[in-house]
Chains A and B, each alone.
Chain A
Amino acid sequence: MSDLISQNLNMIFKTPKGETVHALKDLNFTLKKGELLTVLGPSGCGKTTLLNITAGFIKPTSGNITLNNKEIDGPGVERGMVFQQGALFEWLTVAENVNFGLRMKKEDPIETQRKVDEWLDIVGLKGFGNTPTYQLSGGMQQRVALARCLINNPDLILMDEPLGALDALTREKMQSLVLKIWKETGKTIILITHSVEEALLLGERLYVMAPRPGRIHKEYNLPFASMGLKEDLREIKKNKEFSQKREEILEMIWNMEEEIMGKDN
């Protein structure tokens, strides 16, 4: 059993003004090994909170979350993380960024070098090892971030809007890359996104979350990720079912936003 299981997860924040915000309320879900879950929702619905709890950066107010039957208590190598802006260490080169985890574990340098070359090849950055990271474009930076995370061989990969800051073309390429890596490594992945299309394309499962209190509003099981492994992503977008789902979810999120606006005014 290498599942991610969340039981009655609750997270309550106190704002500086003294108001309490129920960021997550009674979250229950199970993610099986090898599944790709995308999480979608309007801002403030607790997506990032969920990810931060899973990564171990913050502790939930109540409830528990386990990975491989082990309670998550602080950050760990078995849960890799990819951030929106890459969060690369700009004082290091591409290779030094990628092998950061291995260097911290003081692994054999020759073996490390081999792994770095291998992963740079997979993410399509072969020969960029000695390039300073600040010279890379946004898409290349995200590739480095992916390689940096995957070289540690984590059980679970958490992606916090990893493609949000990229232009449309790069984004499409990166989406294929994520699918490719998912297929080749068989990792469990949680991907948070703002884009309905991306959530539909990449998610084997899709949670639409609702705000105040943050909760899972609707759950989908989708075929498009498996299709995307064989087909061109652009073809899938033309799929009728795809458009239908997209409209449905857009409507859903639209309504949620309306509701929030109504509450605020």
Chain B
Amino acid sequence: MLTQILTFLIFFAVIGCILYGRRLIRTEKVDAVFGNPERALGGTHWVIVGSSFLLLVWLYYSWDIAKGFYPKSANELCQVAKVNDSLLGLKYQFPIEEREFKSTSQIKKENKNLKIIKNEIQNSEELNGQQKTILISYIIKTKQLIPLLTNENLIEDETKQKIDDITGKINLLTENFQKPDYPFETERELNERLKAVKEEGGWGITKVDAGSGSIENTLEVPLVPATYRGLKFHAAAQKLNLISDEFFKLRNHNPLFKSKIKELKEEIKSYRKNLGDNEEIASTYAKNIVKIARRIEFASIYPPNALDKMQAAIIKFDNAQKDAQGGLRFIDMFLFPAGTIIASGPSCSEQGSGRWLPKPSDTFNKFVLMSKPSVGYKDIPLLWIQMVDVSKMIGFILPDWIADILPGEYPVHTKDGIVKQNFKGGVLKIVTGDFNLFKVPVPYGHIWDSFLRVFLGLIFGILIGVPLGLFMGLNRFAKGFFDPLIELYRPVPPLAWAPLIISVLGIDNTGKVFLLFMVSLSIMIISARAGASGTQLSKIHAAHSLGASKKQILRHVIFPNSLPEILTGIRVAVGMCWGTLVAAEFLAGTTGIGFVENVAKKYFQYEVIWITIFIMGMLGLLFDITLRKIIDKTIPWRGKG
């Protein structure tokens, strides 16, 4: 429903904006000359067209428009695909969609193989003349097998009868299929089918696992025929499966062929048995010739005109089923671009863009589910609020050794098994957070975890990197002493450190925060150093003349003067940290956006993958915008000094 409305809205928005743009050009007589950047100013209506266009492409190529307007189309196409799948085995025996008869191409192939072996044998230096003569006689005998299969006069009556039988069945199916009430479903069957349809759910529905509360894979395409048209195809497909099974069991082996091939096999067998150990090559060639003979035996080669009636029956059915598809063919053609629904064996699936490009509606549903704390992803929502007692935070912040260094002893239980609390024990309770205060809301979830890691890594990087960088910019010792360390680890891609750091510090927050700290530290040091050493000498001189002490110059001149570099450094560091974090979460972890994507990848949950991509983009954008705002606020003089 929403998709339908959205599609119409987008259509109208695009058309409206284009019309508005045309009118604007006509009414706006004064336009700057070509090359004047003013020509690129404004144009909100084109922004609307651009984003609408993106959305429309997304809706179209993810087949969400098909889903919105024809929710049952995938199910029907699945039934059609089942028919096509069953029909495929029969069809490819004939030049219907292929270029030639299956028999023809098989004969061609085996003749070619025989020719190759013959050439090899004739040119072989390892084989002696006698061996060559024998092997080539086998080849000739194998070749002589083929006419025994393709001769119309040799074909047995029993085989003919069976072929007619199968042809009759196909014709009957065609006849029935064209009847309006095929497959003659009873009331009970109908009710059972509708119940099954209801149980299975709709196209692209997301199921929530009752046990773990996590989202499961999406039902890609519902299998049970939901419509009457679908049911017709479903029934025909089942029937066709039986027919084609019957056909493939059939062999065109007349008594003459049987005796000839048996003779050949035994001859070769005894020949190989009598060969000595040093005649292995001849044995191998003989074996290969038997293989070809076997392939001819099982290739279902028929005389050229033996299957004509059957071919006509199949074509007739194919046309009938195509006619029965009716409007569905157009839906398939226009609303399922770049792919379609295919059936393979018992299941149906989307193939093409609809598979890896999730439908906006499905994505939105899944996003809502993943955000909910009751569902989440791997038991954790994307972002939610939970109530945490302040005491836990106090216990986390205060180190436990505060209680240890207090005078006195911890309480010891008495004879009666009672523990009497004392002051030292009380302090321990406080520093470990073992008490109750009021509760405050604290965010948690995958997004929050990722955010917190970046934030902490960045804060530590800034707190250590900025003073160190300033120091390095001002002091020869500091620069010389720390430069080798920084320059040695900085050029290494952060992800190259990740395996080491994660195995040393663990897959939880410590390792990741430390990795991000490393990333931000080098960036902050370099930018702070550039800021410090880039201070105009005249400003330093002026501060000296105004009576400022070294500390004051550092605090009031060098630091504010380096702020633009430092803030730009932070902006770069945020981007780097964000990229590194996601990759590090890919590597190992139990929470975080990267972790979600990594798990989704394993289960081919395309919607989840796209959700994580979208979240990462949005968060990255959010960081950048926030920092840009901060930069504009804190250093308005940048570029104007």
A: which residues have CB within 8 A of B? 55-57, 74-77, 79-81, 83-85, 87, 89-92, 100-101, 104-105, 132-135, 145, 148-149, 152
Contacts and interface: CB of A to CB of B under 8 A. Distances in A.
Interface in B624-641: 635-637, 640-641
Contacts of A134: 636-637, 640-641
Interface of B: 536, 538-539, 541-549, 552, 556-557, 560-561, 563, 635-637, 640-641
B544 A57 contact: yes
A79 B636 contact: no
A132 B637 contact: yes
Given A76-B547, A90-B640, A152-B547, A83 B556 contact: no
B545 A55 contact: yes
A158 to B, nearest CB: 8
Contacts of A91: 560-561, 563, 635, 637
A90 B546 contact: no
B538 A83 contact: yes
A149 B636 CA distance: 25
Contacts of B557: 89
Contact of A83 (B542, B635, B637, B640): B542
Contacts of B545: 55, 75-77, 79-81, 149
Contacts of A105: 547
A77 B556 CA distance: 17
Nearest to B545: A81
Contacts of B637: 90-91, 132-134
Contacts of B556: 89, 100, 104
A100 B541 contact: no
Given A104-B556, A132-B636, A132-B637, A87 B542 contact: yes
B321 to A, nearest CB: 78
Lowest 7 CB-CB distances: which A-B pairs, in order?
A101-B546, A87-B538, A75-B544, A77-B547, A90-B641, A81-B545, A90-B637
A188 B458 CA distance: 52
A188 to B, nearest CB: 15
Nearest to B563: A91
A105 B563 CA distance: 24
Contacts of A55: 541, 544-545
Nearest to A57: B541
B462 to A, nearest CB: 19
B565 to A, nearest CB: 13
Contacts of A76: 545, 547
B633 to A, nearest CB: 12
Contacts of A145: 542
B102 to A, nearest CB: 84
B563 to A, nearest CB: 7
A104 B543 CA distance: 9
A34 B635 CA distance: 41
17 contacts: A77-B547, A81-B542, A87-B538, A87-B542, A89-B543, A89-B556, A89-B557, A89-B560, A90-B637, A90-B641, A91-B561, A101-B547, A104-B546, A104-B548, A104-B552, A134-B637, A135-B640
Contacts of A135: 640
B468 to A, nearest CB: 22
Contact of B549 (A83, A90, A104, A149): A104
A81 B542 CA distance: 7
B558 to A, nearest CB: 11
Contacts of A81: 541-542, 545
A134 B536 CA distance: 15
B546 A148 contact: yes
A144 to B, nearest CB: 11
Given A100-B546, A104-B552, A87 B641 contact: no
A87 B640 contact: no
Contacts of A148: 542, 546
Contacts of B563: 91
B547 A87 contact: no
